[in-house]
């Protein structure tokens, strides 16, 4: 009996040591002591991310199954938060979809925004890679259809060199990457109510963590917050419930 207790106590310690070793091999994803993590600006989303936010020096992917599903709104929110520490934002916009006035209502500083309109996929990947290597760049955004593992790996190495965040956007499931990204988010438009627009955000995969259930966001007058229904779903027994942060 005496020899069993220490062995049982050692198992959790060995498990945590193994998890930490895996995180180090993965580059510190999920551990803020090994890799910087940046808040999304929304507490409920941060709570679903290992490290309490988006891993810096990494590639993150956002996709939506339909046009107008809120992909650009969520991407702009995350980019704005990424740029809070300083640095420029490079947005690769080959289809001329980006609308600066809308980005300004979310809080993007247009004085730090650089719009790039590449000609073709090769030029897009080349530009994103070079931008990610620059330490003066806080965030890089681009839409690359079905990036391969090799392409993601090259972009990941560039992001690690520069320390910024790369965001890849896709408007169809078949256009998402083959893997290798630090996190993948599914963005789906929800039922709107007057001036309040609802957007469902689901973390499908996250290195150093696991998939999480969707969270409903509300967007009104450029402000992004967690929907009341999402807060009530996880409401504790205590009547004193603090609101999630609003961006």
pLDDT at 32: 62
The tokens for 38 are 């940046």
Between 121-133 and 149-162, two packed helices, what is the crossing angle to 10 degrees? 30
pLDDT at 188: 93
Are 140 and 168 a contacting pair, CB within 8 Å? no
Tell me the pairing of strands 223-226 and 58-63: unpaired
How many other C-beta atoms are found inside a 10 Å radius of the C-beta of residue 154? 17
Are 205 and 178 a contacting pair, CB within 8 Å? no
Separation of first and last alpha carbons in the chain: 55
pLDDT at 148: 96
Q: In the 8-state DSSP scheme, what is residue 30?
A: T
The widest CA-to-CA distance across the chain, in whole angstroms, is 71
Question: Which one, of 211, 153, 185, lies nearest residue 78 by Cα?
Answer: 185
pLDDT at 130: 96
152: Cβ contacts below 8 Å, ≥ 6 apart: 59, 177, 178, 179, 180, 181
Are 54 and 42 a contacting pair, CB within 8 Å? no
CA 148 to chain centre: 19
pLDDT at 235: 43
The tokens for 75 are 């991407």
pLDDT at 149: 95
pLDDT at 195: 79
pLDDT at 28: 59
pLDDT at 164: 93
The domains of the chain, with CATH numbers, are: 26-233 (3.40.50.300)
Are 72 and 91 a contacting pair, CB within 8 Å? no
pLDDT at 67: 82
pLDDT at 143: 93
Q: Where are the alpha helices (DSSP H) in 26-85?
A: 43-47, 71-82
168: Cβ contacts below 8 Å, ≥ 6 apart: 59, 60, 61, 62, 142, 143, 144, 147, 155, 177, 181
CA distance 162 to 62: 21
pLDDT at 26: 55
Helix (H) or strand (E) holding 170: strand 165-170
pTM of the model: 0.80
For 125, the 3-state DSSP assignment is helix
Residue 139 φ/ψ, nearest 5 degrees: -150, 145
Report, as ranges of residue numbers, the positions in the chain whose pLDDT lies below 50. 1, 231-247
Helix (H) or strand (E) holding 22: helix 4-25
């Amino acid at each position: 009996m005496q020899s069993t207790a220490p062995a049982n106590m050692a198992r959790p310690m060995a498990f945590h040591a193994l998890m930490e070793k895996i995180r180090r091999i993965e580059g510190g994803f999920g551990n803020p002591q090994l890799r910087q993590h940046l808040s999304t600006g929304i507490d409920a989303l941060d709570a679903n991310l290992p490290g309490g936010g988006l891993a810096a020096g990494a590639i993150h992917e956002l996709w939506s199954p339909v046009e107008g599903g809120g992909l650009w709104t969520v991407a702009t929110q995350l980019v704005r938060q990424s740029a809070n520490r300083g640095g420029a934002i490079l947005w690769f916009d080959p289809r001329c979809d980006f609308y600066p006035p809308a980005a300004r209502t979310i809080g993007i500083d247009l004085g730090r925004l650089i719009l790039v309109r590449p000609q073709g996929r090769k030029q897009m990947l080349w530009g994103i890679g070079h931008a990610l290597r620059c330490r003066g760049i806080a965030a890089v955004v681009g839409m690359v259809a079905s990036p391969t593992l090799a392409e993601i790996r090259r972009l990941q190495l560039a992001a690690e060199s520069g320390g910024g965040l790369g965001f890849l956007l896709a408007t169809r499931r078949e256009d998402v990457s083959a893997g290798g990204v630090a996190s993948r988010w599914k963005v789906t438009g929800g039922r709107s109510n007057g001036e309040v627009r609802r957007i469902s955000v689901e973390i499908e995969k996250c290195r150093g963590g696991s998939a999480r259930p969707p969270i409903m966001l509300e967007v009104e007058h450029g402000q992004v917050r967690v929907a009341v229904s999402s807060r009530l779903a996880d409401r504790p027994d205590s009547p004193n419930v603090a609101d999630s942060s609003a961006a």
